[in-house]
Amino acid sequence: LLALLLVANCAEAYMCTRHNIFYHGPCVNNLNCASSCVHVNLGNGGHCVRPRKLSTANADAGIDWFWREKICECYSPCRMPSPPGGGEEEPPSGGEQPTPPSVMPGTTEASK
């Protein structure tokens, strides 16, 4: 159980969402929405959500929230920005590989 909690904590990723403009009509089925998102390459899945109001002036006027039609919203893992300084650095060269010992450690020639 502890290992599961540690893995779940480390594997957490940020999910980005975007409106699926290719999904026409009200969104009533999460499976259809998710299939559409994957089909048009907008994400790994999707679900039906009620659109959010963008204006803070209308924050108190959320009475119509329940009656607004749901839209299809796609989700996918967010892309992290690349580190400063460009691409990946090459690892330092280690020179020649050491030769393996001819006798296993802890044994002697006489014990063969």
Whole-angstrom Cα Rg for the chain: 27
The secondary structure element, H or E, covering residue 7 is helix 2-10
Spatial separation of the C-alpha atoms in residues 46 and 39, rounded to whole Å: 11
Q: Is the pLDDT of residue 14 over 80?
A: yes
Confidence of residue 5 (pLDDT cuts 50, 70, 90): very low
Those residues with Cβ within 8 angstroms of residue 17's Cβ, 6 or more apart along the chain or in another chain: 43, 73, 74, 75
Least confident of 12-16, 32-36, 84-88: 84-88
Confidence at residue 104, expressed as pLDDT on a 0 to 100 scale = 61
Judging by beta carbons within 10 Å of its beta carbon (0-12, 13-18, 19+), is residue 65 exposed, middle or buried? exposed
Q: Tell me the average pLDDT across 4-22.
A: 72
CA nearest neighbour of 44 among 34, 53, 52, 32 = 34
Domains and CATH numbers, the chain: 11-54+63-79 (3.30.30.10)
pLDDT in tens, 49-107: 988 766 555 555 555 555 678 999 999 999 876 666 655 556 566 667 667 667 666 66
